[in-house]
Amino acid sequence: MSSQTAALDTLLRGLFDDASLFPPASLAMPDAVAGYARHHGAWYQAMTGPFVCPEARIGDLRISLTAANVAEIDLSLVVTGGAEAIDPAVESVATEPRLRLRAVEVPVRRDADPLPAVAEVVDALDRTLLAGAAGYVEVPVAALSGEILDAVAARGYRPKLRTGGVAAAAFPDEAALAAALCAITDLRVAFKCTAGLHHAVRHAAGDTGFEHHGFLNVLLAVAAALRGADPGDVAAVLGDQDAEDVAAQVAGIGPDEATMVRSLFTSFGTCSTDEPVADLAALGLADDP
């Protein structure tokens, strides 16, 4: 295996969390479970991560696993009911041996000051037996100060950045995301992203006109921040819409740098694993052997 191939394998391994239950895909549970099984049996299976499911749908997930005869599934549990719902949600997963809990993701309350809202979630995570699962605290990108990062990371948890959604306001611009990525890399804090990263390279969606960040742009932005680039330069990397240029830069990342980048940018939730995989194939960065 060449060093370039090894670096690409590192950059892409486990990058795509299966969030097909969530908008805009919003698949029915049986279809989502079937898709997860298909992805994990495909040539790109090494790129696929856990199945992302809200706590309110764990019962549906159990039924679909039985119907599809799926023996076990890696799970990233999204707790939508607030800090007080974390412990019972995790306990409900612990009673189902087919669910291998890999992460717990909790959005902070939007109707409270960010720091107390983060403290509320972190305290609740501390009271919950995560059994080795990673804990993610979703904080608005615009509110991601050094103080908030310290509050999350000092207790062993990770920030989760929302990079898109079903409304234009859900997409942070290049400057806001660059500032967050620079703050995260300065402290060497692992993080994940969710929503909006449907394609490899930054683009305007044809149906909505929303400006979407590209997941390869985010990988390159983390690499740039690790090299000491200032937020303005990192924002320029996020804004690059030249697919050939972006692909060439990604292909030029070496194995050690790839390892460092992925030690921070752990994964992102995508409602369609097929789209990012197709983009990588079109750019010559991955292909069916």
pLDDT 10s digit of each residue in the chain, 289 long?
788 889 999 999 999 999 999 999 999 999 999 999 999 999 999 999 999 999 999 999 999 999 999 999 999 999 999 999 999 999 999 999 999 999 999 999 988 899 999 999 999 999 999 999 999 999 999 999 999 999 999 999 999 999 998 888 889 999 999 999 999 999 999 999 999 898 999 999 888 888 899 999 999 999 999 999 999 999 999 999 999 999 999 999 999 999 999 999 999 999 999 999 999 999 999 988 8
pTM, 2 dp: 0.96
Bridge partner residues of 191 (DSSP): 265
126 touches 104 (CB < 8 A): no
What type of residue sits at position 131? Answer: A
Q: What pLDDT is stored for residue 206 in this prediction?
A: 83
What type of residue sits at position 114? Answer: P
DSSP 8-state class, residue 108: P
Q: What pLDDT is stored for residue 255 in this prediction?
A: 96
Task: Determine the Cα–Cα distance for residues 32 and 53; give it in Å rounded to an integer.
Answer: 10
Q: What pLDDT is stored for residue 207 in this prediction?
A: 85
163 touches 177 (CB < 8 A): yes
What type of residue sits at position 8? Answer: L
200 touches 215 (CB < 8 A): yes
Q: What pLDDT is stored for residue 227 in this prediction?
A: 97
Domains of the chain: 3-282 (3.20.20.70)
50 touches 76 (CB < 8 A): yes
212 touches 171 (CB < 8 A): yes
Residue ranges of the alpha helices (H) in the chain? 3-12, 29-39, 58-68, 86-94, 114-126, 146-153, 174-187, 215-226, 231-238, 243-251, 255-264, 274-282
Q: What pLDDT is stored for residue 169 in this prediction?
A: 87
Report the b/e string of 184-207 with b at 16+ CB within 10 A.
Answer: bbeeebbbbbbbbbbbbbbbeeee
Task: Determine the Cα–Cα distance for residues 277 and 161; give it in Å rounded to an integer.
Answer: 22
Percentage helix, strand, coil for the chain under 3-state DSSP, each rounded to 5: 50, 15, 35
Torsion of CA 141, 145, 146, 150, to 10 degrees: -70
81 touches 105 (CB < 8 A): no
